[in-house]
Structure 1
Amino acid sequence: MSRNTVSRAETAGTSEESPAPSAPRPGYGRLLRTPGVWSFLLPGFAARQPFAMLTIGIVLLVQHTTGSYGSAGAVAAVTGVSMALFAPQGGKLADRFGQRAVLVPGVLLHTASVAALIALALAGAPLWALFVAAVPTGASVPQIGPMVRSRWAAVLGGDRSGARATLLPTAAAFESVTDEFTFVIGPVLATALCTGVHPAAGLIAEGALTLIGGLLFAAQRGSQPRPGRNGRGEGASAEPRTSALSVPGVRVLAVAFLGIGSVFGGMQVSLTAFAEELGNPGVNGLLYGIFAAGNMLAGIVCGALAWKIGPRRRLLIGYSALTLATSVLWAVHSVPLLAGLGLLVGLCIAPALITGYTLVDSLVPASARTEAFTWLTGAVALGQAAAVTVAGQLADAFGARAGFTVPLAGTALALMVLMALRSRLSPQALGRVAARGMSHRVPVAVD
Structure 2
Amino acid sequence: MVGPYRGLFNGPGIKAFVLAGFVGRMPMSMIGIGIVLLISALTGSYATAGAVAAATNVAFAVGAPLSGRLVDRFGQSRVIPPFAVINALALAALMLSAGLRLPDWTLYASGLVVGATSLSVGSMVRARWSVIHGGSSKLHTAFAFESVVDEVIFVTGPALVTVLATELNPYMGLAVALVFMFAGLLALAAQRRTQPPVQEVKSANGTPILIPGIAMLSCVYLAMGAVFGSVDLITVAFADERGAKGAAGFLLAAFAGGSMVSGLWFGSRHWRISLRRRFIRALCVFALGLLPIVFIGDARIMAAALFLAGFAISPTLITGFSLTERLVPPSLLTEGMAWISTALGFGVAAGAWAGGRLTEAYGASNAYVFSLGAAVLAVMVGIGGSGFLRLPEASSPAKS
Q: Secondary structure at the match of 2:6?
A: helix
Q: Does residue 207 of the first structure (1) align with residue 171 of the second (2)?
A: no
Q: Does residue 135 of the first structure (1) align with residue 112 of the second (2)?
A: yes
Equivalent residue for 1:307?
271
- For 1:11-410, list aligned pairs within 5 A: 27-157=4-134, 165-229=136-200, 231-232=201-202, 242-410=206-374
Q: CA deviation at 1:336?
A: 2.1
Q: Secondary structure at the match of 1:328?
A: helix
Q: Which has the larger radius of gyration?
A: 1
Once residues 37 and 393 of structure 2 are traced to their aligned partners in structure 1, the CA distance between those partners, rounded to angstroms, is 49
- Where does the alignment leave 5 or more consecutive residues of structure 2 unmatched? none
- Where does the alignment leave 5 or more consecutive residues of structure 1 unmatched? 1-24, 233-238, 435-441
Q: CA deviation at 1:395?
A: 1.2
Once residues 256 and 48 of structure 2 are traced to their aligned partners in structure 1, the CA distance between those partners, rounded to angstroms, is 25
Q: Percent identity?
A: 37
Structure with greater helix percent:
2
Q: CA deviation at 1:406?
A: 2.3
Once residues 371 and 269 of structure 2 are traced to their aligned partners in structure 1, the CA distance between those partners, rounded to angstroms, is 27
Q: Secondary structure at the match of 1:307?
A: coil
Once residues 267 and 63 of structure 2 are traced to their aligned partners in structure 1, the CA distance between those partners, rounded to angstroms, is 30
Once residues 197 and 68 of structure 1 are traced to their aligned partners in structure 2, the CA distance between those partners, rounded to angstroms, is 21
Note if contact 2:287-2:372 (Cα within 8 Å) is conserved in structure 1: yes
Once residues 327 and 125 of structure 1 are traced to their aligned partners in structure 2, the CA distance between those partners, rounded to angstroms, is 41
Deviates more, 1:133-142 or 1:309-318: 309-318
Once residues 287 and 305 of structure 1 are traced to their aligned partners in structure 2, the CA distance between those partners, rounded to angstroms, is 28
Once residues 308 and 227 of structure 1 are traced to their aligned partners in structure 2, the CA distance between those partners, rounded to angstroms, is 34
Once residues 396 and 370 of structure 1 are traced to their aligned partners in structure 2, the CA distance between those partners, rounded to angstroms, is 39
Number of positions where the alignment pairs a residue of Structure 1 with one of Structure 2 = 400
* CA gap 1:88/1:26 in 2 versus in 1, 3 angstroms: farther
| Poorly superposed stretches of 4+, deviation over 6 Å | none
Once residues 264 and 147 of structure 1 are traced to their aligned partners in structure 2, the CA distance between those partners, rounded to angstroms, is 22
Note if contact 2:272-2:399 (Cα within 8 Å) is conserved in structure 1: no
Q: CA deviation at 1:310?
A: 1.7
Note if contact 2:13-2:191 (Cα within 8 Å) is conserved in structure 1: no
Q: CA deviation at 1:34?
A: 2.8
Q: CA deviation at 1:429?
A: 7.3
Q: State the AA in 1 paired with 2:150.
A: D
Note if contact 2:274-2:393 (Cα within 8 Å) is conserved in structure 1: no
Once residues 194 and 35 of structure 2 are traced to their aligned partners in structure 1, the CA distance between those partners, rounded to angstroms, is 33
Once residues 153 and 428 of structure 1 are traced to their aligned partners in structure 2, the CA distance between those partners, rounded to angstroms, is 17
Deviates more, 1:148-157 or 1:244-253: 148-157
Provide the TM-score with structure 1 as the length reference. 0.86
Once residues 149 and 392 of structure 1 are traced to their aligned partners in structure 2, the CA distance between those partners, rounded to angstroms, is 33
Note if contact 1:249-1:427 (Cα within 8 Å) is conserved in structure 2: no
Q: State the AA in 2 paired with 1:370.
A: T
Once residues 68 and 429 of structure 1 are traced to their aligned partners in structure 2, the CA distance between those partners, rounded to angstroms, is 48
Once residues 225 and 216 of structure 1 are traced to their aligned partners in structure 2, the CA distance between those partners, rounded to angstroms, is 16
Once residues 116 and 98 of structure 1 are traced to their aligned partners in structure 2, the CA distance between those partners, rounded to angstroms, is 28
Q: CA deviation at 1:70?
A: 0.7
Note if contact 1:325-1:345 (Cα within 8 Å) is conserved in structure 2: yes
Q: Secondary structure at the match of 2:249?
A: helix
Q: State the AA in 1 paired with 2:102.
A: A
Q: CA deviation at 1:240?
A: 5.7
CA-to-aligned-CA distance 1:123-173 (integer Å, 9 cap, x gap): 22222221111111101112211111111122334xxxx8xx442222121
Q: Secondary structure at the match of 1:31?
A: coil
